[in-house]
Chain A
Amino acid sequence: GAVVSQHPSWVICKSGTSVKIECRSLDFQATTMFWYRQFPKQSLMLMATSNEGSKATYEQGVEKDKFLINHASLTLSTLTVTSAHPEDSSFYICSATGSRETQYFGPGTRLLVL
């Protein structure tokens, strides 16, 4: 099956710093990538949809200036959490889809902001 990787798998940072998370499709070209966030004991929530070469579409309530998404190639999307605060601590998961409907999920990145 299709493989999606994320890096880093976990990160601890100080409040006010920015953190970049990479999402890569390893064996297929991902026309669309999605970024999700999951807080403890809650469901995955879609943050934004990212298409290669165009601006991301953000879900209601997600600040685009705080969560910067870049999808520069068909195999790489990045999410940058700018000026992170403790309330941004969460499990961030990306997924990627090619020409078919199936979304393949990355292993996730745990962010802890102190």
Chain B
Amino acid sequence: RKEVEQDPGPFNVPEGATVAFNCTYSNSASQSFFWYRQDCRKEPKLLMSVYSSGNEDGRFTAQLNRASQYISLLIRDSKLSDSATYLCVVNRGYGGATNKLIFGTGTLLAVQP
């Protein structure tokens, strides 16, 4: 079983739709959590950190449930430019050299005009 599991998709949605991605992680000692975005043949870029209290950045809302080891990302009013692979990432470390990012395989989102 992978340490970070995601539905690979693809998720094909029309512009303006709301789409939700889910992720589970198996290591309860994981310290911090993130969503990254990766465009085709590019490096991953940090989208947002994820907190138990939930956090929102514009059209994006992320939520962490530590008890069930579950992370979610909600995208509202999807844009064509949102088309990308969304990576669920957990960090086992405490910062600096102790950081160890574990990446999920990603969920592919394709927003259709």
Contacts and interface: CB of A to CB of B under 8 A. Distances in A.
Pairing of A with B = yes
Interface of A: 31-32, 34, 41-46, 49, 51, 57, 91, 93, 95, 97, 99-103, 105-108, 110
Contacts of A100: 95
A43 B76 CA distance: 25
Contacts of B4: 43
A43 B87 contact: yes
Interface of B: 4, 32, 41-46, 87, 91, 95-97, 99-106
B99 A44 contact: no
A101 B98 CA distance: 10
Contacts of A95: 101
A105 B41 CA distance: 13
Contacts of A51: 97
A33 to B, nearest CB: 10
Contacts of A110: 41
28 contacts: A31-B97, A32-B97, A32-B99, A34-B101, A41-B105, A43-B4, A43-B103, A44-B101, A45-B103, A46-B100, A46-B101, A46-B102, A49-B97, A51-B97, A93-B44, A95-B101, A97-B95, A99-B96, A101-B91, A101-B95, A101-B96, A102-B46, A103-B99, A105-B43, A105-B44, A105-B45, A107-B42, A108-B43
